[in-house]
Amino acid sequence: MNRPVPAESASRIIDAKGKELGDWRGEILARVRAIVHQADPEIQEEWKWAQPTSPGTPVWSHGGIVCTGETYKNVVKMTFAKGASLPDRSSLFNSSLEGNVRRAIDFHEGDKLNETALKELIRAAVALNLKGERKSKPQRSRGKRVG
């Protein structure tokens, strides 16, 4: 089974990934990461899905996966796990638009990041996760059991 890397190690791996890229992709990944943490200081950083054929992916979670930060040759992709359910008032989503659940933002070299809108999207994703988390917990009875 593929287990996520502990948070402290995940942070080191993400740091190393940005430095390893050594170009605009590393800069965008670092900026996206900073924005995620500014939007939600309680967010958990993870490194998931590492396999022999894939180095893995940075994942930011709070009450469930909020988003991932994948790097490719020509794009840094920020995928929101429940993006289709999020209000995107600034039309940031520009990729994976046909999916029923996920939505993504592809950042290309030279793109400007709309930090305000991105923080709003991250906060909405966290709120959606936490809302779902509260609904899924079973209610405990406060009364006496009748036997």
User: Which domains are assigned to the chain?
Assistant: 7-134 (3.90.1150)
> What pLDDT tens digit does each residue of the chain (147 aa) get?
455 566 668 888 888 888 899 999 999 999 999 999 999 999 999 999 888 888 889 999 999 999 999 999 999 999 999 999 999 999 999 999 998 999 999 999 999 999 999 999 999 999 999 997 776 555 554 454 444
Tokens read off for 45? 């950083």
Helix (H) or strand (E) holding 12: helix 7-21
pLDDT value of position 53: 86
Q: Give the dihedral sign, CA 95/50/9/137.
A: positive
Rounded to two decimals, the pTM is 0.84
Burial of 54 per CB tally in 10 Å (0-12, 13-18, 19+):
exposed
**Cβ atoms 118, 35 nearer than 8 A:** yes
